[in-house]
Amino acid sequence: MKIKNIFEQKERVVSFEIFPPNKNFSEEKLKAVTAELVNLNPDFISVTYGAGGKTKGGTIEMASYIKNILNTEVLAHLTCVGSKKSEIENFMKEVKENNIQNILALRGDVPKGETEEIYDRGDFKYASELIQELKSNSDISIGAAFYPETHYQNNDLVDLFHLKNKVEKGADFLVSQLFFDNERFFSFREQAEKLDINVPLVAGIMPITNAAQIKRIVELSKCSVPKKLERILEKYGDNPESMQKAGVLYATDQIIELFANDVKGIHLYTMNKVEAARDIMNNIFFAR
């Protein structure tokens, strides 16, 4: 099913994100984890593509497993940084062969060991160009990324303008970078509405279950950490069990407030872990 149709049919949409197998996370383990995630009844699961400059690979295989073996809707991520048109065509051929109907179309970042020259080496400089390509040559439902606290390479207004361009080129829904401060999301939504960006805005939520994790996340995403979360980290950060519980409750609080303010979709960054996702799904069952 196309994800744009899921948004049309359901009042609230909850999705999970996983990353493909790698040297620290075997395919066998990931398949077991994904089967448990499917049991939590998400509306769809997304599979990242070479995120963090890692090797591209495993996205289609995992997406196909979720769609065709676990019978759950799937969103395959795809980045275009440094890619030739033929590589995108080959990827899309496999997408079609595997009955995958949804792509999150992204630019991607400079991979490790490369320089910014890579942005000019491929056939697509920005995600909007990839979206245009996918829209012209396939019948896929397309999602794109957005940044409630702005993308690190731009300021708010310019970034919003580029976001509108992605919607005009064919993005059916938008998934956000993770954030911990709902007010940032709400004020972004207000600005987006003023620009007539009218597709569903999905809120990316990551439960912080381990204090060490947050430093790297903030470095990568440049998202702000509200005082409330800072105090939780100070108080419970040294106790893994308490931190896990506090992180789940913080994310639950965020989601309930988002739903209460008519946010249509929540995308949980699971980091291939089941426990926090399960606890959050139990906590929010009444709000879905």
Nearest distance in Å: CB 113, ligand FAD = 15
Of 108, 148, 200, 247, the residue at the interface with ligand FAD (CB under 6 A) is 108
CB under 8 Å to 231, separation ≥6 — which residues?
none
The nearer residue to ligand FAD, 124 or 236, going by C-beta atoms, is 124
Both structure tokens of 116: 């910014």
Task: Determine if 157 is a binding residue for ligand FAD (CB under 6 A).
Answer: no
Task: Determine if 149 is a binding residue for ligand FAD (CB under 6 A).
Answer: no
The nearer residue to ligand FAD, 154 or 261, going by C-beta atoms, is 154
Q: Which of residues 40-99 bind ligand FAD (CB under 6 A)?
A: 48-51, 77, 79
The DSSP string of the chain is --HHHHHHH-SSEEEEEE---BTTB-HHHHHHHHHHHHTT--SEEEE-SSGGGPPP-SHHHHHHIIIIIS---EEEEEE-TT--HHHHHHHHHHHHHTT--EEEEE---PPTT--TTHHHHSS-SSHHHHHHHHHHH---EEEEEE-TT--TTS-HHHHHHHHHHHHHHT--EEEEEE-S-HHHHHHHHHHHHHTT--SPEEEEE----SHHHHHHHHHHH-----HHHHHHHHHHTT-HHHHHHHHHHHHHHHHHHHHHTT--EEEEE-TT-SHHHHHHHHHHGGG-
Of 158, 195, 215, 239, the residue at the interface with ligand FAD (CB under 6 A) is 158
Stretch of residues binding ligand FAD (CB under 6 A), selected from 23-31, 159-167, 186-194, 274-282: 159-167
The nearer residue to ligand FAD, 145 or 280, going by C-beta atoms, is 145
The nearer residue to ligand FAD, 204 or 207, going by C-beta atoms, is 204
Residue 17 known to be catalytic:
yes
Q: Which of residues 160-219 bind ligand FAD (CB under 6 A)?
A: 162, 166, 175, 177, 204
Of 13, 142, 145, 192, the residue at the interface with ligand FAD (CB under 6 A) is 145
Annotated catalytic residue within 8, 11, 17, 219:
17
| CA pair distance 145, 259, nearest whole angstrom | 20
Q: Which of residues 262-281 bind ligand FAD (CB under 6 A)?
A: none
Task: Determine if 109 is a binding residue for ligand FAD (CB under 6 A).
Answer: yes
Nearest distance in Å: CB 128, ligand FAD = 6
**Residues in the site for ligand FAD, rule: CB under 6 A?**
48-51, 77, 79, 104, 106-109, 126-128, 145, 151, 153-154, 158-159, 162, 166, 175, 177, 204
| Catalytic site positions | 17
